């Protein structure tokens, strides 16, 4: 069997492109603000100054690096007579193991160990981890420039020795690395093992060390947010519906005095089902607001490049900022779909229940409502972002059931509400409910809660 992998992609350096002095009388556009040449430069300076002020007292410090012992944090799953373990290496770890900076070529090693207690041999399918994975010889070749023939031979030998080797014979344990394309923050690891007449599949969501994600600050995956007596587990659909409709309409400011974006999303599931589905569809975590991430925001805004892990501003529910945020970036930092999630004290058939809000960023602008004096502008039709998320995640094969409940309250197009940064939005007032399962669910098998139904749209935009 022959696998074809893509050549390593060189990473583009962060570049700040200064405005051209030949702007003249022609209007220039910066973060969707029209301006003449003098204002164009002034706004750049003001934005940079605002960031500098914010860094002095409104950002978090970068968390310390881990101990780079990838096996100690490996995640393990067992099915039948097969046990698999996996860990995703950080940039520093991969450089230590391979002796070359793999991350500079956008290469990320994933360590896999398979213990086979069955009576037949298995084969690991590397494309399951990444359709564009790198062969060991291909990856070593990317770092052979300028080396001697002896060094190239040694490099190739090292890469081959570290690679995962098939087959996994009965009664043996096999381990090694599969070289994948670089992900930061979290990585979805799909381990597919096949043998004659049988396949075993393991879907694992692994964190990547040294990434300052917002979920590290909340520690939502490392500690119990609620005491046991506060948790309410629902098994009755009607009672669960009533509990969801009783939740607040909107996220708020830190002191709770002002309403912000609508809480139009409920996610039922966790690390073994819901979040792998998000990552499978290209959703990525957001960084903490620290000096490095804010400078990357500025750099990306000026250069027009993508920043798929760009931070989001804090909104509040249950007396705290969001536990985590996810985003699906567009071609530049100004445009993205993004959502915030809070873990609630509710459970549904034992599954965690997350309450959140989803909207689509369509541009950037100056504002006095944030410490950096800049903010994203949302698409006012937040129901479209909600609908797009449902359709997107249906293709993940992780959604088992969905529906809609009241709770947000309608805001017609003719009488919209505003969020905390004065962006207007309108909505039918419903929140979507998505229930996830670990086992794949095809599109024709997704069930529907017979609760509320969104109004029928007669055009691309709702007529309200």
| Domain housing 77 | 70-207
Number of domains in the chain: 3
Do 74 and 46 share a structural domain?
Answer: no
Looking at residue 12, the DSSP 8-state letter turns out to be P
Residue by residue, DSSP assigns 320-350 as: EE-SEEEEEE-SSTT-EEEEEEEEEEEEETT
> Do the domain assignments include residue 16?
no
> Do the domain assignments include residue 18?
no
Do 167 and 127 share a structural domain?
Answer: yes
Please state the separation of Cα 441 from the chain's center in Å: 21
0.95 exceeded by pTM: no
Do 130 and 82 share a structural domain?
Answer: yes
What whole-number distance in Å separates Cα of residue 78 and Cα of residue 350?
A: 21
Looking at residue 134, the DSSP 8-state letter turns out to be B
Tokens of 309: 């892990």
Do 221 and 194 share a structural domain?
Answer: no
Do 218 and 197 share a structural domain?
Answer: no
> Do the domain assignments include residue 11?
no
> Do the domain assignments include residue 439?
yes
Do 165 and 262 share a structural domain?
Answer: no
Do 221 and 113 share a structural domain?
Answer: no
> Do the domain assignments include residue 460?
no
What whole-number distance in Å separates Cα of residue 23 and Cα of residue 11?
A: 30
Boundary residue ending a domain (207, 224, 255): 207
Task: Show pLDDT as tens, one digit a residue, over the chain (464 residues).
Answer: 333 333 333 333 333 332 333 333 333 333 333 333 333 333 443 444 444 333 333 434 433 434 458 999 999 999 999 999 999 999 999 999 999 999 999 999 999 999 999 999 999 999 999 999 999 999 999 999 989 999 999 999 999 999 999 999 999 999 999 999 999 888 999 999 999 999 998 989 898 887 777 777 788 888 899 999 999 999 999 999 999 999 999 999 999 999 999 999 999 999 889 999 998 898 888 887 666 666 776 676 666 666 666 777 899 999 999 999 998 876 654 556 789 999 999 999 999 999 999 988 755 554 555 554 455 566 899 999 999 999 999 999 999 999 999 999 999 999 999 998 888 999 999 999 999 998 889 999 999 999 999 998 765 554 44
């Amino acid at each position: 069997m022959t696998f074809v992998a893509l050549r390593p992609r060189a990473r583009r350096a962060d570049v700040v492109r200064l405005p051209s002095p030949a702007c003249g009388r022609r209007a220039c556009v910066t973060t969707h603000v029209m301006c003449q040449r003098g204002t164009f430069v002034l706004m750049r300076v003001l934005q940079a100054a605002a960031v500098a002020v914010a860094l002095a007292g409104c950002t978090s410090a970068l968390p310390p690096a881990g101990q780079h012992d990838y096996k100690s944090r490996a995640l393990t799953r067992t099915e039948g007579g097969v046990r698999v373990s996996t860990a995703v290496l950080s940039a520093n770890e991969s450089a230590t193991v391979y002796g070359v900076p793999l991350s500079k070529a956008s290469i990320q090693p994933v360590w896999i160990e398979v213990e086979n207690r069955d009576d037949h041999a298995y084969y690991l399918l590397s494309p399951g981890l990444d359709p564009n994975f790198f062969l060991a010889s291909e990856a070593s070749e990317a770092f052979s420039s300028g080396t001697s023939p002896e060094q190239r031979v040694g490099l190739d030998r090292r890469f081959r020795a570290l690679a995962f080797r098939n087959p996994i014979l009965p009664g043996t344990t096999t381990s090694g690395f599969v070289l994948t394309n670089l992900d930061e923050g979290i990585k979805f690891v799909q381990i597919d093992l096949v043998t004659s007449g049988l396949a075993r599949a393991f879907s694992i969501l692994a964190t990547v060390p040294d990434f300052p994600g917002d979920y590290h600050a909340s520690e939502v995956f490392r500690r119990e947010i609620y005491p046991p007596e506060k948790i309410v587990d629902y098994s009755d659909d009607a009672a669960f519906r009533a509990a969801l409709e009783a939740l607040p309409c909107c996220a708020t400011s830190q002191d709770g005095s002002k309403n912000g974006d609508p809480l139009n999303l409920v996610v039922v599931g966790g690390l073994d089902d819901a979040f792998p589905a998000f990552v499978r569809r290209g959703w990525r975590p957001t960084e903490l607001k620290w000096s490095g991430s804010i400078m990357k925001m500025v750099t990306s805004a000026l250069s027009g490049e993508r920043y798929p892990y760009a931070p989001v501003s804090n909104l509040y529910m249950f007396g705290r900022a969001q536990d985590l945020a996810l985003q699906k970036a567009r071609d530049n930092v100004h445009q993205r779909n993004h959502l915030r999630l809070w873990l609630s004290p509710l459970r549904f058939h034992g599954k965690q229940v997350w309450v959140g809000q989803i909207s689509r960023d369509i541009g950037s602008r100056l504002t006095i409502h944030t410490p950096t004096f800049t903010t994203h502008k949302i698409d006012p039709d937040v129901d479209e972002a909600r609908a797009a998320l449902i359709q997107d995640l249906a293709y993940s094969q992780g959604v088992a059931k969905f529906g809609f409940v009241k709770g947000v309250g309608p805001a017609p197009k003719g009488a919209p509400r505003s969020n905390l940064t004065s962006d207007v939005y309108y909505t039918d007032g419903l929140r979507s409910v998505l229930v996830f399962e670990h086992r794949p669910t095809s599109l024709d098998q997704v069930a529907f809660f017979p609760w509320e139904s969104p109004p029928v749209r007669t055009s691309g935009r709702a007529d309200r």
